[in-house]
Structure 1
Amino acid sequence: MGDRNAMLGEALRLIRVFHDRKQVDLAEELGISQSHLSDIERGAKTPSQDLVAKYAEVFDLPVSSIWFFDEQLSSGTTPKAIDRARGVIADKVLDFLRIIERRQEKS
């Protein structure tokens, strides 16, 4: 994942995995195709605001906690240091979720 949506897509994937949900089942619940969800999780497509809201509802999360991982979030008025800090924090949260994912796979 090297493009602009990579961090958000990875966050959505890890949230799904953390909740032990299959991609096909979640896609059906969200009202989208599995291939579309796969594209979002890989960072190939950007989810709509409505889709992120549905995702937040399914997993009982604040919408803002999901948008936190959007690399395009910067408004241009946010100081660069804050943008960098947000990126570092988001990376650390994703690293933590990946550790949990690996532990779940082992058990």
Structure 2
Amino acid sequence: MAASEWGAQLRAFRQRMGLKQIALEEELGVSQAFLSRLETGTSAPSEALTARITELLERPCNRLMFDDWRATVALSPALSSLLAYE
């Protein structure tokens, strides 16, 4: 994944969760300056940091509800659908 894509995902996650950069830097173990460079796409994460970011973004409590539904449909051996009753 390109550095700009990591940055966009991190920024969107941080904003969705209502976090400041300081909270995310503590979680990932990086400085605020480096986190800022990641979010702007001017720096790329190392392999170890990529693994920590991926683990953070994929925790069930950090994913959007629709992402869980998409994963369920993609991995389900049976036919799945989402219906709305009005």
Separation in structure 2 between the aligned mates of residue 32 and residue 5 of structure 1, nearest angstrom:
16
Number of equivalenced pairs:
58
Paired AA for residue 55 in structure 1: I
Structure (1 or 2) with the larger CA radius of gyration:
2
Separation in structure 2 between the aligned mates of residue 8 and residue 57 of structure 1, nearest angstrom:
13
Residue 15 of structure 2 corresponds to: 17
Secondary structure in 2 matching 1:32: coil
Unpaired segments ≥5 residues, structure 1: 62-107
Correspondence 1:93-104 to 2 at 5 A: none
Post-superposition CA distance 1:1-59 (Å, at most 9, x none): xxx62232112211121122111111012111000000000001001121122123334
Greater relative CO, 1 or 2 (CA 8 Å, sep 6+)? 1
**Match of residue 48, structure 1, among 37, 46, 49:** 46
Paired AA for residue 20 in structure 1: G
Aligned-residue Cα RMSD (Å) equals 1.8
Post-superposition CA distance 1:46-83 (Å, at most 9, x none): 0112112212333416xxxxxxxxxxxxxxxxxxxxxx
Separation in structure 2 between the aligned mates of residue 58 and residue 8 of structure 1, nearest angstrom:
12
**Match of residue 26, structure 2, among 10, 25, 28:** 28
TM-score, length basis structure 1: 0.47
